[in-house]
Structure 1
Amino acid sequence: MGCPYHSNGNDEEATDGHADDVNDGSSVSSDRGIERRSFMKSALAIGGASALTTATGLYGTPETVSAEGGDRIGAEARDNRQHAWDGFETDISEGGVTAHPSHHVTLHLNYVPGKEEEPSAADRATVEEVLREIERHFEWASEGVLFTIGYSPAYFDRFDADLPRGLSPKGKVVKPGLLRPKQLIDTPGVTLDHEDPHADEAEVCLHLASNNAQNIMAVEELLWGGEAEMDGDTVEFDATFSGVLETAGNGSGRPTEYPYRRTGFAGHETITEELESDTDFDPDRIPDDPEAELTMGFNDLYRNSIPREDNATIFEDQNLVVPHPPGAFAQGTIQHVSKLDIDLDRFYDENDTEGRRERMFSPDHTDENTGTVGENLGDSSAPGDTPLRELGGETDKAEQTVDDYDDAGVAGHAQKLSRARFDLETRLTEEGRERLSGSERDELLPAEERDDDLDGHDGNQEAEQVLLRRDVATTDQETPGNLFISLMRFNPYMAYIRQAMNGVAFDSKAFGLTGEDRIDDEKIGAGPDSGIVNYLETKVRGNYLVPPITNRALPHPQGEEVDVSVKRAGENYRVTVDGITADAIEDGSVRCGWFYDVNRAGGAEPRQVVQRGNRTTFVFPADGTGVDTAPGGSDGSVRVRFLAKRSDTGRPVRGTAEILQTASGNAGQKGKKGQKKS
């Protein structure tokens, strides 16, 4: 790729009054016709201080950036989820879902002190402060910066303690544990014969996304001690990653090259421009339609094929055949990051418009009900009145996959993947469902049935796709491809959906769908008539645990579980914690309330703290805890959660008790005070 800018002494291209700030007179060459979006993508691909200086000189600083630093968005406003992006993305796709930000970078890092060293409290504090610096200087929105930081099994290997039972990657694969990349690659049916993917060995993945590429470049500079111009001021972060988190490749400092720094982009016009400038593929072969968001010529963001963030979120009472408690990682998610190369020339050489449409969707997707790029589908990818997947209903396209392949000679990509949909919202334990429903808080229950008006559904979308995809196009290594980023509650979902995609023998019984909802298909293979998988090649795979916001900085695999007793005292709840003193708790970290509220960074702060020996009593205002209005279990007991953070290690401190509600609104302790570590 050539340099996207050069010095010619012409600053007339600066369009926002910042012409005087252009570095050394550099500007976009007007005779080369590089428009802003193409320039920004190219500058982001190159990265570095020079690209940032030129970008901000030409196009200024977005309004979503603050040199002085403003009030950062709190964890509670995001339900304690790093991946809470949907409510803060400003664009809506033609398919009715929020569209991805235009520019993406993933940075693959290691903890500098070494693979045998557990992170120190000082390093945890540094990482947390760096992440807060981003939130203070950049608005949490598509126009500002959205980000997640996740940790691989290799990161957690340094600890003697395992992750909670529902997440542990050590030893035998425990569904739905955090899979090692090699375990996923070697899972039968996941890797095709023409693929030889590399297992990502990085310990940490930082994913940055924004509609403004200069924001991402600024963050990258600031993370490792560089400077960025904001509102005419030079800004530096007080805390940086230097000496704590640095490139997982050779050398030190920030990642600068693939595969430790990967870039991606979204939007039809940007895709065609970058394919033309970065690769040998002729982008004129892609239909000239703004709804063609994929390099393969179609839109793929439909409301019936994208799960809600709730269903990609790790829940306390999650269940997949058996319970899988996540401990202190409730409200987090599991992130899969891979790089796919796409053989676009062969895809367009071998298929006309009809053939491409059938391979992307199904043989029942026609020009009339689908259109050239999917423009006739609206917000549902189902072909007319036939659902892609409908539990307990009549036949659907998922169930017709093998018959279509045998009779029509082709099976569609969307059709094959729909076999991996199932009732995500029922994947809670019976007790967990009881404790999230009823009383005055019923609206917090992830509904079993989501009312919708989508074509091809009966009004309730019970079966959702299992992956929340945040993937974008890429031209890394000058090859058309996909920076595949997806979020999920259970890591084996990735293997499950890839098996459905690859055309191997497929049985949904493995994930708990039995009876009339079961799909038990014979192998159809991964040839050129089996969806689009024949044109894809996976180059690298990685899995990362994305913790909740309150536990995102170099997390320990286990929270510290303590015994607590909870008693009502007038307008307060008195919570006594055994075995820990008040001075061992980080200031401002204590919360208490209904467990689901506290998991989401809610609950009440203490109004009084009383220390007696090795026991500490915290007094919380009852009306702030949410306990009095919370639903209970089968015996009417309410689960109460105490949460704090140790000042010496930064580890979460958690205590759980169940209390019985009485008619007068008072509460009494029930059963054991503590809860076993999970």
Structure 2
Amino acid sequence: MTDNNENERAGRLRGKLSRRRLLQGTAGTFGAALASAGIYELIDSIAKPPDRAAAADSPPIQEQYLLQNEQVVMVNGSGVKSSHGTIAVRVPALHDHVITARLNVPAKAKALQEAQHHLESALLGLERQFPPTPTGVATTVAWGLSYFRHYIPTLGKTSGFFKAGTPYPAYLPVDLMTSKKEGHTVYALQEARTFPSDQPPPGFGPVRLEQNDVAVLLRSDSLANIKAAQNALFGTGSSQAGSLFKVTSIRQGFSGGGFYGQQGLPSKLALAADIPGAQSIPRQAQGFLGFATTLDSNMGPGNIANLETLPGLTDQWPNGYFKQGTTMHLSHLFQDLVTWYEQNFPQYADRVQAMLQPGLSPAPAPGTLALQPPGQSEAEVAQGVQRYRAYGHTGSMSKVDSTTSATTSNYGKAYPSGTTIPVRGDFDTLDNPFHYTSDPTADHYSKKPAAGLHFISFQPTTAFFNLVRLSMDGHYPDRTLPVAPRSPHAGINSVLQTTHRQNYLVPPRRHRSFPLAEFLA
């Protein structure tokens, strides 16, 4: 629980912004939302930027989804044994923004190729101004199936990758493993689906499976840098790229801030916004639910999440057009802090068992707990259900999201069994559900802040994401656990409410701007 001093500080934080600015943005004009960050403007005045090493003077890597020059710190592994008593945690950027859009470009070869040059010029200008790191601005451009379906129906030119006349979707990366299993061609990028535990808030209607053409993820320790990047890409001046897009949403948020003995951003901002349950968020927690989310052991190392890195996953090795790219899942979820801290899991040990696995009873030290690989096997999760009538969030996924045996990548890198494959990029938010939406009715927009999560995961194929997400609900390829997927005994599912989902293809940096447009005729 927070003390009176912290509650007083929260009141002072609220006073730093007028009521209008605290909640600004939003269902109104796009220009106003682009110019203002609302409550997130507090971050740079209340959080010390991480003490990161100076970025090396080297060109950006092709894996545009990887955060370069990311700092790793060692924190106490209280309650869960690790080899050295401490656990490595990646320090994320303080600010995270995602902008989604439909295209404002004619579906014609010349127009798309001009747009390709225009966007790439804007991106290169950004890279000249800011290094692609948390101290500058890290930019990731991802493309939805609607872009390929509507704008790249057929390739008109023969290249080293494709033949002229190749139709959609035959030019997309093929998921070799799933194709073999299902007996027909399955592509690495698939439409988003819902899952057994998906439940939108009352009155929200079904989970919205979005059809955006593009999503741009911006990450930085500086809000000013992100604003400059947003303006360069979505502003409407002659040197800006905004004329290419019809923005559908701006999604803003934050992570961390408490790795150096300081009060973390989740606690500070939730208290400042007067979120129900905010007083229970651990002081230094990285996320609203009180646990570190960027444990190094639970994040894919190096380029393991690439389409082509692990042998046999896709057809992009050795010379695929999308080599060094990946797939991205983007969703929004509300997090019910009152249910988490006060109702379903009132004791710290209860929250540990829901987040990790039943049977753990560590000493209270919120924010630093981890299950070290290889974690629980599927059989051990099932045995835990028999013994405790429950399973934990991390435990349910720990074998499904990792290598099942010692593996050597196509690049010659050896990965031991139990190496995590996905790379997470999710961040907490007070958006309800977005900072700005072009369709406030369909998105159920509200000015009232709410504890939420913009969930981002990078992995080689959509099918892999689906497999991992189903395991979170106790659904495995060969068994289904006898626990209702929204039960308090099903990990953290009972405190999450999903509103939106979409999958994207993240090309390598060299093809990030209107991929494949150069092959239209």
TM value normalised by structure 2: 0.73
- In the TM superposition, residue 447 of structure 1 has moved relative to its aligned partner by 1.2
Q: Give the structure 2 partner of residue 130 of structure 1.
A: 122
SS at match of 2:266: helix
- In the TM superposition, residue 51 of structure 1 has moved relative to its aligned partner by 6.3
SS at match of 2:229: helix
Match for 2:135: what amino acid? E
CA 346–167 in structure 1, closer or farther in 2 if over 3 Å, else same? same
Q: Give the structure 1 partner of residue 189 of structure 2.
A: 178
**Is contact 1:279–1:475 with CA below 8 Å preserved after alignment?**
no
CA 35–136 in structure 1, closer or farther in 2 if over 3 Å, else same? farther
CA 33–244 in structure 1, closer or farther in 2 if over 3 Å, else same? closer
Q: Give the structure 2 partner of residue 166 of structure 1.
A: 173
Q: Deviations over 1:333-366 (max 9, x none)?
A: 1111100111111122222212111111112322
What aligned pairs does 1:299-310 form with structure 2 within 5 A after superposition?
299-310=292-303
Structure 1 gap ranges (5+): 1-28, 64-70, 227-236, 250-259, 390-395, 437-443, 450-461, 509-519, 557-648, 653-678
CA 365–72 in structure 1, closer or farther in 2 if over 3 Å, else same? same
- In the TM superposition, residue 307 of structure 1 has moved relative to its aligned partner by 1.2
Q: Distance in 2 between matches of 1:37 and 1:309?
A: 40
Q: Deviations over 1:386-410 (max 9, x none)?
A: x643xxxxxx454321221221232
Match for 2:380: what amino acid? Q
Pairing 1:283–2:278 present: yes
CA 114–279 in structure 1, closer or farther in 2 if over 3 Å, else same? farther
Q: Give the structure 2 partner of residue 566 of structure 1.
A: none
Q: Distance in 2 between matches of 1:317 and 1:359?
A: 31
CA RMSD of aligned residues (A): 3.9
Pairing 1:104–2:114 present: no
SS at match of 1:295: coil
Q: Give the structure 1 partner of residue 425 of structure 2.
A: 470
Q: Distance in 1 between matches of 2:212 and 2:494?
A: 28
Q: Distance in 2 between matches of 1:521 and 1:401?
A: 11
CA 97–651 in structure 1, closer or farther in 2 if over 3 Å, else same? farther
Pairing 1:74–2:33 present: no
SS at match of 1:327: coil
Q: Distance in 2 between matches of 1:282 and 1:191?
A: 22
Pairing 1:89–2:70 present: yes
Counterpart selection for 2:140 from 129, 134, 148: 148
Counterpart selection for 1:381 from 356, 362, 371: 371
What aligned pairs does 1:329-368 form with structure 2 within 5 A after superposition?
329-348=322-341, 349-351=343-345, 352-368=347-363
Counterpart selection for 1:486 from 449, 454, 457: 457
Match for 1:287: what amino acid? P
- In the TM superposition, residue 154 of structure 1 has moved relative to its aligned partner by 0.2
Q: Give the structure 2 partner of residue 296 of structure 1.
A: 289
Q: Give the structure 1 partner of residue 3 of structure 2.
A: none
- In the TM superposition, residue 331 of structure 1 has moved relative to its aligned partner by 0.3
CA 521–273 in structure 1, closer or farther in 2 if over 3 Å, else same? same
Q: Give the structure 1 partner of residue 466 of structure 2.
A: 495
Match for 2:469: what amino acid? R
CA 531–225 in structure 1, closer or farther in 2 if over 3 Å, else same? closer
TM value normalised by structure 1: 0.57
Pairing 1:650–2:489 present: no
- In the TM superposition, residue 471 of structure 1 has moved relative to its aligned partner by 0.4
Q: Distance in 1 between matches of 2:110 and 2:101?
A: 16
Q: Distance in 2 between matches of 1:305 and 1:507?
A: 22
Match for 1:82: what amino acid? Q
Q: Distance in 1 between matches of 2:496 and 2:23?
A: 27
What aligned pairs does 1:189-200 form with structure 2 within 5 A after superposition?
189=196, 191=198, 196-200=206-210
What aligned pairs does 1:551-570 form with structure 2 within 5 A after superposition?
551-556=511-516
CA 35–417 in structure 1, closer or farther in 2 if over 3 Å, else same? farther
Match for 2:65: what amino acid? H
- In the TM superposition, residue 97 of structure 1 has moved relative to its aligned partner by 3.5
**Is contact 1:388–1:415 with CA below 8 Å preserved after alignment?**
no
Match for 1:277: what amino acid? A
Counterpart selection for 2:477 from 485, 497, 507: 507
**Is contact 1:104–1:263 with CA below 8 Å preserved after alignment?**
yes
Count of equivalent residues:
436
- In the TM superposition, residue 534 of structure 1 has moved relative to its aligned partner by 1.7
SS at match of 1:151: strand
**Is contact 1:201–1:542 with CA below 8 Å preserved after alignment?**
yes
**Is contact 2:308–2:324 with CA below 8 Å preserved after alignment?**
yes
**Is contact 1:104–1:207 with CA below 8 Å preserved after alignment?**
yes
**Is contact 2:134–2:220 with CA below 8 Å preserved after alignment?**
yes
Q: Deviations over 1:208-250 (max 9, x none)?
A: 0111111111222233447xxxxxxxxxx86321321231x3x
Q: Deviations over 1:312-345 (max 9, x none)?
A: 111178413x856682000011111100111111
Q: Deviations over 1:479-506 (max 9, x none)?
A: 21111011011111221111100123x1
Pairing 1:525–2:517 present: no
Q: Deviations over 1:77-106 (max 9, x none)?
A: x1x111231x42245363413221011110
CA 244–82 in structure 1, closer or farther in 2 if over 3 Å, else same? same
Q: How much identity, in percent, do the aligned residues show?
A: 20
- In the TM superposition, residue 507 of structure 1 has moved relative to its aligned partner by 2.6
CA 281–523 in structure 1, closer or farther in 2 if over 3 Å, else same? same
Q: Distance in 2 between matches of 1:208 and 1:418?
A: 28
Q: Distance in 2 between matches of 1:372 and 1:549?
A: 40
- In the TM superposition, residue 48 of structure 1 has moved relative to its aligned partner by 3.9
Match for 1:381: what amino acid? L
Q: Distance in 1 between matches of 2:355 and 2:310?
A: 36
Match for 2:344: what amino acid? E
Match for 1:166: what amino acid? P
Q: Which has the higher contact order (CA 8 A, sep 6+)?
A: 2
CA 318–217 in structure 1, closer or farther in 2 if over 3 Å, else same? same
Q: Distance in 1 between matches of 2:489 and 2:41?
A: 45
Q: Distance in 1 between matches of 2:288 and 2:274?
A: 12
Q: Distance in 1 between matches of 2:197 and 2:188?
A: 17
Deviates further, 408-417 or 325-334: 325-334
**Is contact 1:315–1:331 with CA below 8 Å preserved after alignment?**
yes
Q: Give the structure 2 partner of residue 264 of structure 1.
A: 253
- In the TM superposition, residue 180 of structure 1 has moved relative to its aligned partner by 1.2
**Is contact 1:96–1:303 with CA below 8 Å preserved after alignment?**
yes
CA 212–44 in structure 1, closer or farther in 2 if over 3 Å, else same? farther
CA 115–109 in structure 1, closer or farther in 2 if over 3 Å, else same? farther
Match for 2:226: what amino acid? I
Structure 2 gap ranges (5+): 1-8, 27-32, 50-55, 76-86, 155-166, 259-263, 433-448
